[in-house]
């Protein structure tokens, strides 16, 4: 349970950094509502855990042909799907304005979440 909460906080932090630095990705207002941010992070985590492996399986030839660069396209699509689901469940006003914003946002989220995962890794073997 602790690991899931840590993953949620890491996703929330990565999305927050993306909202700050990537034009075209954000929430409706001037400030970011923490509750909406956590809900979007939860949706993003579920999308990446459930839907992304299915998409990766069916698009495996594209991963091979592009030497893995197709990962960026899939990450952008997962971010856009997160926007749709967040809008459907009423999780704030999360928006991704274009595919290019989603592409850059996916890259930023990947970098930030990887860095945070390395620095916040749980070394306890309980």
Residues 25-37 have a mean pLDDT of 83
Classify residue 124: in a domain, yes or no. no
What does the alpha-carbon distance between residue 71 and residue 24 come to, in Å, rounded to a whole number? 21
pLDDT digits (tens, 9 = 90+) for 43-58: 999 999 999 999 999 9
Number of domains in the chain: 1
pLDDT tens by residue, 91-101: 778 899 999 99
Q: Who contacts 47 (Cβ-Cβ below 8 Å, separation ≥6)?
A: 78, 81, 82, 85
Per the CB < 8 A criterion, the answer to whether 76 and 105 are in contact is yes
**Residue 75 belongs to a domain:** yes
pLDDT at 125: 53
Average pLDDT, the chain: 90
Residue 72: its H or E element: helix 70-89
How far apart CA 111 and CA 126 sit, in angstroms, is 28
Please determine, for residue 124, whether its predicted confidence score (pLDDT) is greater than 90: no
Q: Is 26 helix (H, G, I), strand (E, B) or coil?
A: strand
Does 125 fall in a domain?
no
Residue 85 clears pLDDT 60, i.e. is over it: yes
Q: Which domain holds residue 80?
A: 2-119
Report pLDDT for 51.
Answer: 94
pLDDT score of 31: 74
> Is the residue at 32 inside a domain?
yes
pTM: 0.88
Q: How confident is the model at residue 14 (pLDDT cuts 50, 70, 90)?
A: very high
Q: Which has the higher per-residue pLDDT, 38 or 29?
A: 38
């Amino acid at each position: 349970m602790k690991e899931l909460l840590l993953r949620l906080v890491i996703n929330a932090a990565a999305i927050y950094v993306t909202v700050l630095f990537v034009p075209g990705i954000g929430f409706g207002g001037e400030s970011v509502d923490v509750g909406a941010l956590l809900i979007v992070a939860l949706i993003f985590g579920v999308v990446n855990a459930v839907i992304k492996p299915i998409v990766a399986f069916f698009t495996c030839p594209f991963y091979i042909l592009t030497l893995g660069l197709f990962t960026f396209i899939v990450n952008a699509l997962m971010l856009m799907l997160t926007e749709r689901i967040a809008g459907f469940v009423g999780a704030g006003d999360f928006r991704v304005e274009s595919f290019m914003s989603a592409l850059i946002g996916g890259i930023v989220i990947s970098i930030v979440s990887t860095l945070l995962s390395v620095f916040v890794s749980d070394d306890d073997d309980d």
